[in-house]
Amino acid sequence: MPPNRFNGFTDYGVGIGLRIPHYQHILSRRPVVDWFEIISENYMVDGGRPLEILNQILEQYRVIQHGVSMYFGSAEPLNREHLKRLKTLVRRTGTRWLSDHLCWGSVDGRYTHDLLPMPYTWEAVEVTAQKIRQVQDFVEVPVVVENVSSYTEFHVSEMTEWEFLTEVVERADCGILLDVNNIYVSSKNHSFDPFTYVNFVPTHRVAQIHIAGHSKFEKYILDTHDHPVLPAVWRLYARAIERCGPTATLLEWDDNIPTFDEVHAEALKATKFLKTASEASSESMATAGYPTLVREADGVGGIVSGVDQ
């Protein structure tokens, strides 16, 4: 079921990324938004405006942390300073889960600040899973890993990306942030069927889903997060929701950012898919005689009704 141990047994609905151009609108208008996703690194600071804004957001909204530089797949050890700052922020936000990418990006203490693709090898599975476990133990909240979009493949790869993802999350016992836009982008760049990927993912580990826009170039697709979600990605999302059930969904829009209302409206297009999945899920559970969960936003969290068996 969508509320699972990897997302703190929550049902968060549809959120959007908290971005600087929207600060003023959000703090002055207080729009109704299910939740915001923050880039952890932007708030892993000691003081000043970033934390002041975050505190104001936290007074009104639920916030989930999303990182971009933990680099679970880097061969070098974890950065202790990074971990300490991350844990401090986790305590501040009360994030119910913590996401970062299934990638690497640093080596020998030098950072590329990019989400570089993994070679899909068994060695990489072991290294990555071990580091995810270390992070999870340290921060004491569920860790979920996001599949990245990529433009290269390695000769040494011994399995497909979806097999690699599955092997890592099973060994790390962590959740998945399934980015269906990234799957679509990579499928075009590497010529695979994106539905094969979505159909393979262990649904019981999917804690959250990302949707976003991308840009098409002559010979490849770039994950630019500067467009509305394209129809092909919505179709992939529909399939993911069909398999996973109603899952916390977030729209990423990081460049050429339009007004808050435009971004939010685009994100809310996901609602119809979630509603359909929710109805199907309720019917399925009622038939099976399971209790049902309600969203925290409805005012009462947890199990509220059961069906006599």
Partner 1 sequence: MSARPPETPACPTLIREADRVGEGGNLLDIQRRMAAAVMHPLTRAETMPRRRRDGASNRAEAEAIIRPNDRLTSFERLEIYNRQYWFRLYGCFEEDFPGLQAILGRVQFDALMRAYLADCPSQSFTLRNLGSRLESWLGEHPEYIQPHVTLALDMVRLEWAHIEVFDSEEKPRLSAKNLAAVNENSTLSLQPYLRLLALSYPVEDLLLQVRNEDGSSTSSTNNASAARKRKHVRHFAALQPKPIWLAVHRLDNTVWYKPIAQEEFRLLSSLCNGQTLGQAIEAAFTDSPLSEDQRAAFLQEAFASWSMLAWFTQPPRSRGAGESHA
Chain residues that interact with partner 1, rule: CB under 8 A: 41, 44-52, 69-70, 73-76, 79, 81-82, 104, 106-114, 116, 119, 121-124, 127, 151-159, 163, 166-167, 189-191, 219-220, 222
Nearer to partner 1, 46 or 193 (CB): 46
Query: Closest approach of Cβ 84 to partner 1, in Å?
Result: 11
- Report yes or no: 198 and 154 within 8 Å, Cβ to Cβ: no
89 vs 277 by CB, closer to partner 1: 89
Nearer to partner 1, 184 or 234 (CB): 184
- The residues facing 63 across adjacent strands are 36
Tell me how far, at minimum, the Cβ of 3 lies from partner 1, in Å: 28
- Please state the closest distance from residue 246 (CB atom) to partner 1, in A: 29
The widest CA-to-CA distance across the chain, in whole angstroms, is 59
Q: Is 46 helix (H, G, I), strand (E, B) or coil?
A: coil
Give the C-alpha separation, 88 to 81, whole Å.
11
Q: What is the DSSP string of 233-276?
A: HHHHHHHHHHHH-S--EEEE--SS---HHHHHHHHHTTHHHHHH
Across-strand partners of 176?
145, 206
On the 0-12 / 13-18 / 19+ scale of CB atoms within 10 A, 25 is middle
Identity of the residue, 131 or 264, whose beta carbon is nearer to partner 1 in the bound complex: 131
Nearer to partner 1 by Cβ, of 75 and 280: the residue is 75
Output the smallest distance, CB 11 to partner 1, in A.
31
Q: How far is the CB of 232 from partner 1 (least distance, A)?
A: 18
